[in-house]
Structure 1
């Protein structure tokens, strides 16, 4: 729930087609019941969609200010780990743990079922080849009827043929990826506990248990590779990421390529 006070819309420079844009331009007609889904098929791959995820979380709170004052809710964001767990992304506020959906399969039908089950309305998928596949009856229609925006991202944070770029303008925009990249240790967990009068995940023993459980998902070599990739993305400590807006149909075709990874 730290995102509630950590991030603001003014912390991001957004461009569409090279022209200045806003969160509303990237996520048009965002409403109080929108749910953001992020498909992950590489070790800590969701880090490549950091800024898209963060502007969605910002929109979640901005569209309903009572979420910042009267309520104690985490943003409606869901991470779909494909094939196997890909490392805890919970520091981004994918919490409770049910918000990180571990799919021990690459079956495109199961993946779409999971997305539909959570009522995802904005979807980001990794940059994978498109494939013509058959889903279970009516599942594609259900997704087409509900999902308002779809994006392709690259786990590195940079995408060829992108039409959207999002840059952080404040160091706090790199807090979340830094937290995800830190290796698990009992000492780190003891040091990070905040003092708060509000219920936050860092004070929840189940959050610590979750990080402990997920600590073996990613090898040290994989973690270091992602760390190096993130550092290379930064200029003056701030990252610029790129994305491509696509149709929902195209996103689902790329989603099916998880079976080839």
Structure 2
């Protein structure tokens, strides 16, 4: 829940087609019942969508002020790990653990079922080839009826043919990727949120157990590779990420290739 106190919209610069833009341009007509879904199909892949995710969480709290004041709620965000777990992303406030959905299948029908079950309204999918596939009856129509925005992202943080760029202008925007990539040994030693100074999920035994469980998803080499990739994007400690806004139909066609080797 540190995100509630950590992030503000002023910490991000947004541009669309090279022109200054706003959170509302990225997520038109965001409302209090919106839910953001992030499809992940490679080790720590969600880190490449850090700023889009963080902007969505900012929108979640901004649309209903009581979420930052009197309520104690985590943002309605869901990570869908395709094929297997790809490393815990819980530091981003995908919490409780049910918000990281581990789908041990590459079946596109199961993936869309899971997205529909969680009522996702804004969806980000990895940049995979489009495939013409058949979903279960009415599941595709349900997605078309409900999902309002779709994005393609790259685990590298830079997406080909991008039209949307989001950059951090405050070093706190790198807190979540930094925490996500910290070795388990360090996390065991520091279990109080540095953002609030109060014990939060990081101090909860169930949180640590989840991180330990997901540790088997990754190797030390994986962690080092993703860290070096993130570091390569940094300018004065800050990162710009790029995305491609797409129609819902295209997102679902790319979703069908998530988890499969790129050809």
TM band (smaller chain): over 0.9
- Residues 27-46 of structure 1 show CA distances to partners (whole Å, capped at 9, x for unaligned) of 00000000000000000000
Could you tell me how far apart the structure 2 residues matched to 1:35 and 1:198 are? 27
CA contact (8 A) 2:191 2:199 kept: no
Could you tell me how far apart the structure 1 residues matched to 2:79 and 2:259 are? 18
TM-score by length of 1: 0.97
Please, which runs of 5 or more residues in structure 2 have no aligned partner? none
1:238 corresponding residue in structure 2: 238
Could you tell me how far apart the structure 2 residues matched to 1:39 and 1:259 are? 10
Could you tell me how far apart the structure 2 residues matched to 1:32 and 1:198 are? 27
1:108 corresponding residue in structure 2: 108
Question: In the TM superposition, what is the alpha-carbon distance from 1:197 to its structure 2 partner?
Answer: 9.3
What SS class does the counterpart of residue 132 from structure 1 fall into?
coil
Please, which runs of 5 or more residues in structure 1 have no aligned partner? none
Could you tell me how far apart the structure 1 residues matched to 2:209 and 2:225 are? 25
- Residues 61-99 of structure 1 show CA distances to partners (whole Å, capped at 9, x for unaligned) of 000000011100000000000011000000000000000
Could you tell me how far apart the structure 1 residues matched to 2:109 and 2:56 are? 26
RMSD of aligned C-alpha atoms? 1.4
Could you tell me how far apart the structure 2 residues matched to 1:232 and 1:197 are? 30
CA contact (8 A) 2:41 2:126 kept: yes
The count of residues paired between Structure 1 and Structure 2 equals 260
Could you tell me how far apart the structure 2 residues matched to 1:93 and 1:251 are? 24
2:257 corresponding residue in structure 1: 257
2:160 corresponding residue in structure 1: 160
1:54 corresponding residue in structure 2: 54
Could you tell me how far apart the structure 2 residues matched to 1:75 and 1:160 are? 29
Cα distance, 1:228–1:199 mapped onto 2, change above 3 Å: closer
What SS class does the counterpart of residue 215 from structure 1 fall into?
helix
1:28 corresponding residue in structure 2: 28
Could you tell me how far apart the structure 2 residues matched to 1:103 and 1:56 are? 23
2:122 corresponding residue in structure 1: 122
Confirm whether residue 150 of structure 1 aligns to residue 137 of structure 2. no
TM-score by length of 2: 0.96
Question: In the TM superposition, what is the alpha-carbon distance from 1:215 to its structure 2 partner?
Answer: 1.1
What SS class does the counterpart of residue 216 from structure 1 fall into?
helix
Question: In the TM superposition, what is the alpha-carbon distance from 1:193 to its structure 2 partner?
Answer: 2.2
CA contact (8 A) 2:192 2:199 kept: no
Question: In the TM superposition, what is the alpha-carbon distance from 1:117 to its structure 2 partner?
Answer: 0.2
Question: In the TM superposition, what is the alpha-carbon distance from 1:244 to its structure 2 partner?
Answer: 0.4
Question: In the TM superposition, what is the alpha-carbon distance from 1:200 to its structure 2 partner?
Answer: 2.3
Could you tell me how far apart the structure 2 residues matched to 1:96 and 1:258 are? 24
